[in-house]
Amino acid sequence: MIKQSIVALATLGLLSLSASAANTAACAGCHGKDFEKSAMGKSKIVKDMSKDDIIKALKGYKDGSYGGAMKAVMAGQAKNLSDADIEEIATSIAGGDKKAEDANTTKAEDSNATKAEEKKEATPVKEVNTAACAGCHGANFEKAALGKSKIVKDMTKADIETALKGYKDGSYGGAMKGVMAPNAKKLSDEDIKAIAEKFGK
């Protein structure tokens, strides 16, 4: 008797769906507010179903081709639903529109982040004219200047910065100190960083 009453209540509640297809509040008694429950301990948990599976189930209940333990309860409700109603209900339960919106938002955010990163990487380091260095160091800093200096292209960026700043303030240098000091004094810290970034390892 109790079971029959529950089925009757579910039937009456679900009938109200025909008035407002997307309003699934009447289903909460059996399926839960967010469709997180197994109705009467027998149905699938609807919130875990895809939109397509929900549509297939409701259309199947409607034409009698679908259903197990819940077929008797659901068939009477589904027959009152149009295909448009079923689509709307499935979208509402599965959160189809919101999920698509969230997915598009995520894609847009990822795209913007990628573009920002590409822009950052594409930002050129300040160009410094090193043509005057080529006579001693080589066009690509591949030579030991006057046969005495380190080969600059084999140095790290940090070592190049340290050397040039040291030549500039007089705290660095051996055999090449007398030659390099006047040249380094012409360079700003930004120039030095640019040279290190371009030629250092």
DSSP SS3 for 22: coil
Residue identified by tokens 């939109």 is 51
Give tens-digit pLDDT for 18-76.
334 455 665 676 778 888 888 777 788 888 889 898 889 889 888 888 877 777 778 77
Structural domain boundaries in the chain: 2-95, 131-199
DSSP letters spanning 131-167: GGGHHHH-TTS-S-GGGTS--GGGS-HHHHHHHHHHH
Do 131-199 and 2-95 have the same topology in CATH? yes
Quote the CA–CA distance of 79 and 143 in Å, as a whole number. 87
Give tens-digit pLDDT for 87-108.
888 888 876 444 445 555 556 6
**Is 1.20.1050.10 the CATH classification of the domain at 131-199?**
no
* CATH architecture of the domain formed by 2-95: Orthogonal Bundle (1.10)
pLDDT band at 168 (very low <50, low <70, confident <90, very high): very high
